[in-house]
Amino acid sequence: MTMTRRDVLLGATAAAALLPLAARAQTSEVVIGATYPLSGSGAQVGVDAQRAFETAIDIINNDQDFELPLAKGVGLPGLGGAKIRIVYADTQGDPQKGRAEAERLITQEKVCAILGSYQSAVAVTISQICERYQIPFMSADNSSPSLHRRGLKYYFRASPHDEMFSAGMFDFLDAMKKKGAKAQTLALFHEDTIFGTDSANAQTKLATERGYKIVADIKYRANSPSLSAEVQQLKAANADVLMPSSYTTDGILLVKTMAELGYKPNAIVAQAAGFSEKALYDAVGDKLEGAITRGSFSLDLAAKRPMVGKINDLFKAKSGKDLNDNTSRQFMAMIIMADAINRAKSTDGEKIRDALAATEMPGDQTIMPWKRVKFDESGQNNDADPVLLQYVGGKFVTVFPSQAAVADAIWPMK
Amino acid sequence: MTAETIIQSLASGLLMGLLYGLIAVGLALIFGLMDVVNFAHGEFLMLAMYVTFFLFTFFAIDPLLSAPLAAAALFVLGAAVYLLIVRFAMRAKANVGMVQIFATFGLAIVMRGLAQLFFTADYRSVPNSWLGGKTVSVAGIYLPQPQLFGALVAIAAFGGLYLFINRTDFGRALEATREDPGAVALVGIDKNRVFALGWGLGGALVGLAGAIMATFFYIYPDVGASFALIAYVTVALGGFGSVFGAFAGGIVVGLVEATTALILPPSLKSVGIYAVYLLVVFIRPRGLFGSM
């Protein structure tokens, strides 16, 4: 049989048509959703989160030499080397928009899992939608303790919640008191959404249990144009320790207003959020020498675990910033979720959920100071130890707990 | 509650209130002139803050010196917005009110989006200006210099505006156009020119406010939203279209906000503002100094 030009052409066309199909069957992709505020007052965190997820996906999808799950080799071996693709949705920091966007991700974009969402108030609605569609939701950076106490089957959180963080803060205060530091009276300063409220509730409970005196408990309206009345009350109370639970905007205004009204707190022990953000220290860092914030991450760890420094470099190349409390947890959430999907060998929501529930990741395979990642039946990881960081000379130094500390806390702050 | 706390609250409230007035007066001016509410007013403020920030960051011009530049930039923006957008929105055949609302509202969203695209969502601030972080302390009462300066600028701006409207030809043209845009054409006044200058002036005033705000407030694409809301309340309280009303309204809002925070939990401090606002709307719907 002779081959005509037409046969060749036909064959080539057929092959060309089939090629992408075949390729697609081999390296299918896994779609994960990420719901973050990409506009509105929390947009900066959302934009940074995108860089954190991209860093994690780079490590998963390409062959990298790190002691992280899925770093070596290409893609997810459990799914024939499938690569991860992320789809972002903008919540604008609004619980109702978060709900609608989560539903769109699940029904239109066919995501098999969702990560989110910075504001705890938004995580409430997103996780409810995920529960209804049986799609796992992982809180990368939400810290309200009420989130994992709603009996949801598809809710997971690898990082500590505010009660664990607050307990860590009070352990630190106890230790300081034992050393003879002045830390008996507290002033709580918190914003009025679920994050600030839950944080203040946890702190009030712990303060009562451990015999501290709360001399001021100020709940303020988030994104206020002015905080001078609030700061006056803080100043009048003049507590030994000021404990703010504030997002970046209010945190900047708080520190500026304190300086303007001539109030110099004895010590600040902050519930992270704004107080882990570079933007806040860029704006008012000169007034925060010695401020302490709780955290779930510290770059100090790079000295003990070189991988942390290298991953920070990868992230910095994308974002121009160092990994912080939020971006490190977002990075880990993607790694943990990808690891579960890989073990589930499926993109089915229920199978991923079961794989997540069976997660057992040793701490040294993460970039965090955690013991390990293992979820209890409510989806919370109880082996994530918080650290306390002090802002000294333009960077953070771990000061507590003693096994992670690289320096003693400077008290009172200067 | 000591006398010191009360005096400090009232002083802070008064300073903030004068600034609220300065932010709101551009809105009142434009509304008084042509019955158009500029829903992008907060975004004008945001842009003025960024202008100040960039002049400081790239050319090391202190906000005190760049305030006239920010005002000039916003003057151009205001006039351009009238000539390119509002002028056409007002030609709508039906629902003129709706069309102009959506036109300026859309402009607000576009400006916010562009700001995030070009300036990123990062929070900025002018770290060490001449006044930033400095405070005057009188008998235990602290008056932050940026706000003190802002209050002086606000008073000067209102004084200047008063003289401008009442003593100059252009001011009289402004007033005449506002009373009867049709009739002024007969005496040779170009309505579009007056309106464009009115928008420019409104922009320049909020530009001035933005430059002062930049010395003590953080800057990001959405920063205008919370101030715009207060500006609307200020204008409605003082009387729509009344320049003096915006001045008085600002002071009332500042003082009410400060005193509410003394009595109620601070998270409820805006309740006081809206309560007073409702009261005024019920008893005197045209606002404290409104003339319509």
| Three-state DSSP class for residue B234 | helix
- CB pair distance less than 8 Å for B266 and A223: no
Those residues of chain A whose CB sits closer than 8 Å to some CB in chain B are 38-41, 43-44, 46-47, 192, 218-221, 223-226, 228-230, 232-233, 236, 248-249, 252-253, 256, 259-262, 277, 279-280, 282-284, 286-287
pLDDT of residue A23: 42
Cβ density class B182-201: b for 16+ within 10 Å, e for less: eebeeeebeeeebbbbbbbb
| Residue B222 distance to chain A (closest CA, Å) | 6
pLDDT of residue A25: 43
Residues B266 and A237: their CA atoms lie apart, in Å, by 15
Of all residues in chain B, what percent are helix, strand and coil, respectively (each to 5)? 75, 5, 20
User: pLDDT band at residue B291, thresholds of 50, 70 and 90?
Assistant: low
Question: Least CB-CB distance to A47: which of B120, B144, B258?
Answer: B120
pLDDT of residue A21: 46
Question: Least CB-CB distance to B267: which of A39, A40, A192?
Answer: A192
Residue B238, pLDDT above cutoff 80: yes
pLDDT of residue B189: 85
- CB pair distance less than 8 Å for B116 and A279: no
Give tens-digit pLDDT for B68-118.
999 999 999 999 999 999 999 988 888 888 898 999 999 999 999 999 999
Whose tokens are 């969702």? That residue is A114
- One digit per residue, the tens of pLDDT, for chain A of length 414 reads 555 666 665 655 555 555 444 444 444 899 999 999 999 888 999 999 999 999 999 999 999 999 999 999 899 999 999 999 999 999 999 999 999 999 999 999 999 999 999 999 999 999 999 999 999 999 999 989 999 999 999 999 999 998 899 999 999 999 999 999 899 999 999 999 888 998 999 999 999 999 999 999 999 988 888 898 899 889 999 999 999 999 999 999 999 999 888 899 999 999 888 898 888 998 888 899 999 998 888 888 888 899 999 999 999 999 999 998 899 999 999 999 999 999 999 999 999 999 999 999 999 999 998 989 999 999 999 999 889 999 998 888 899 888 778 889 998 887
Cis peptide, bond prior to residue B267, ω within 30 of zero: no
Residue B126's closest chain A neighbor by CA?
A283
Question: Among B122, B136, B234, B273, which would you mutate to test the A interface (most chain A Cβ atoms within 10 Å of its Cβ)?
Answer: B122
Cβ density class A286-303: b for 16+ within 10 Å, e for less: eebebbbbbbbbbbbbbe
Give tens-digit pLDDT for B177-206.
888 878 888 888 888 889 999 999 999 999
Nearest to A147 by CA among A177, A178, A126, A174: A126
Q: In the structure encoding, which two tokens stand for residue B50, read together?
A: 């960024």
Cβ density class B96-114: b for 16+ within 10 Å, e for less: eeebbbebbeebbeebbee
Question: Least CB-CB distance to B125: which of A44, A230, A283?
Answer: A283
Residue type, A121: A
Question: Least CB-CB distance to A225: which of B113, B221, B230?
Answer: B230
Is this prediction's ipTM beyond 0.85?
Answer: no
pLDDT of residue B266: 82
Confirm if A84 and A29 have CB atoms less than 8 A apart: yes
Confirm if A311 and A318 have CB atoms less than 8 A apart: no
Q: Residue B19 to residues A7, A264, A355, A406, B51: CA-CA distances in angstroms?
A: 80, 26, 57, 46, 18
DSSP state of A212: -
pLDDT of residue A16: 54
| Residue B148 distance to chain A (closest CA, Å) | 11
pLDDT of residue B264: 86
